Structures are given as structure tokens and as C-alpha cells.
């Protein structure tokens, strides 16, 4: 069963949620160190990570699937969240420099169509980061966290989907090497688990973070008519 927006918000206020936010944010900051003067979109439940970009970007929108629900964000000032249909987004072509998708692909009915919509909205050379539950990680096997709901992905599966949607993988990393256990969610143990995991089992993180660049926009499921030579009769 999918976690709705209230459950996601509650999770990120818990010890495990704060640990997940810290680990994932560290990786995002490494991938995207400078967001100045960019148009940025988060898809799914990205408000926890968009906080650090507020005031730095040219435009920042947090879009949440209608079946998940949306929350008002930020708490004061102009609202920057909206509800969307993940298979038919309302955004114009070529309008975002950066898109973050988190708690998104695991639950959509057609991941490829969603990625095609994302590709359409990215500018040429724009970048997407997808954060998904890792199929062989411990977090995908635990229903205590949102990463244990919906489908999970292997790196091969996710890379293949991105390529079909017209995106080229440019970087990949992992996070959440610690098991999803409350007593391990402390600053000291978190740092130790992440360092140890990166060194000794770098392919078994709880979540995958994959960055991809827009290179083309072709829907592979649409049949393209081929020209046929028909000589005139004599």
C-alpha cells in the first residue's frame, strides 16, 4: 500500500527519516553543488530536500502525484507545491534545468511514461536525479519506511528505463547502508555505517541515486511511419 503525504511527512520527522534525509542530502549536494539561477522541479515528495535550495534557484516547484496528496510548502509565503498527474504533467516543454524524483517512480502505474514526461520538461542538457529503493538493499524489504512500499529497482533496470526515455546516465551512487533500525539512527553510528558501506559493500545501499542528462526525446512505443517507394505505373 502506498504511503500518502501524511505518512511521508511523519516519516521524515522520525529518527529513521532524519537519517534518510541526511544521507540522501549529502549525496544530492555532491551531485548538484550549485543550484543558482536554475529552474528546479521536485517530483513525488521532495520538499524535505528542496528546503536547502530555497532562495538560491530562479524557480522552485514541488509537484506531488494526486493519488499521494500534497502538503502546503513552505509554511509561510507563496505556496510552491502542486498536485499533478504523473503520466501527463502540466509543465511546458524545455522548462526545467534540474528535476529531482523521489518517492515517485516506485508508485506510478507506468514508470516509462513518467520518465518520458520528465524528459519533455527538461531543457536540452538538463539533469535529472532519480532516488529509488534499491532492490537488493535492506530498506526495500522493510515496510517501516516509505522505501519499502511499491516497486524497487536494480541499477540495470533503472538505467534501461532512463535510456528508453531519452536520458543518458551521467552518475550513480548509493546511500543508506545502515539497516532501517531506530537505534542505529544516531549521528555517530550513521557516519560509521555510511563510511563502512562505501568502502566494503558499495553496491548494497538502501537507495539508488542516479543522475541522467537529456539527450533526445523519442517515445519508443510510438510507431514511426517509414517511407515506401511506390513507382508510377506505365
Mean pLDDT across the stretch 4-14?
92
How many Cβ atoms from other residues are within 10 Å of residue 92's Cβ? 9
- For residue 37, is it left (φ>0), alpha (ψ between -120 and 50) or beta? left
User: What is the number of residues in the chain?
Assistant: 234
Structure confidence at residue 219 as a pLDDT band (50, 70, 90)? low
Q: Are β-strands 167-175 and 207-214 bridged in parallel, bridged antiparallel, or unpaired?
A: antiparallel
Which candidate, 65, 46, 147, 60, places its Cα nearest to that of 113? 65
Of 150 and 201, more confident: 150
Q: Tell me the pTM.
A: 0.88
Give the chain's domains with CATH numbers.
5-214 (3.40.50.150)
85-112 residue pLDDT tens: 999 999 999 999 999 999 999 999 999 9
Amino acid at each position: 500500500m502506498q504511503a500518502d503525504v501524511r505518512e511521508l511527512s511523519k516519516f521524515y520527522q522520525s529518527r529513521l527519516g532524519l537519517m534518510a534525509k541526511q544521507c540522501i542530502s549529502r549525496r544530492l549536494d555532491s551531485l548538484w553543488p550549485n543550484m543558482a539561477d536554475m529552474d528546479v522541479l521536485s517530483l513525488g515528495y521532495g520538499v524535505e530536500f528542496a528546503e536547502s535550495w530555497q532562495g538560491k534557484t530562479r524557480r522552485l516547484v514541488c509537484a506531488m502525484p494526486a493519488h499521494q496528496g500534497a502538503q502546503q510548502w513552505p509554511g509561510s509565503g507563496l505556496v510552491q507545491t502542486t498536485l499533478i498527474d504523473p503520466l501527463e504533467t502540466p509543465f511546458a516543454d524545455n522548462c526545467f534545468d534540474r528535476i529531482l524524483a523521489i518517492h515517485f517512480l516506485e508508485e506510478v502505474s507506468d514508470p516509462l511514461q513518467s520518465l518520458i514526461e520528465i524528459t519533455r520538461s527538461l531543457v536540452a542538457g538538463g539533469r535529472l536525479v532519480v532516488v529509488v529503493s534499491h532492490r537488493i538493499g535492506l530498506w526495500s524489504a522493510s515496510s517501516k519506511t516509505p522505501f519499502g512500499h511499491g516497486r524497487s529497482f536494480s541499477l540495470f533496470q533503472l538505467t534501461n528505463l532512463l535510456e528508453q526515455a531519452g536520458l543518458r546516465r551521467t552518475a550513480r551512487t548509493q546511500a543508506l547502508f545502515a539497516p532501517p533500525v531506530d537505534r542505529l539512527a544516531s549521528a555517530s553510528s550513521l557516519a560509521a555505517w555510511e563510511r563502512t558501506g562505501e568502502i566494503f559493500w558499495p553496491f548494497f545501499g538502501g537507495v539508488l541515486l542516479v543522475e541522467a542528462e537529456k539527450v533526445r526525446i523519442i517515445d519508443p512505443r510510438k510507431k514511426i511511419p517509414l517511407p515506401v517507394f511506390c513507382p508510377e505505373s506505365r
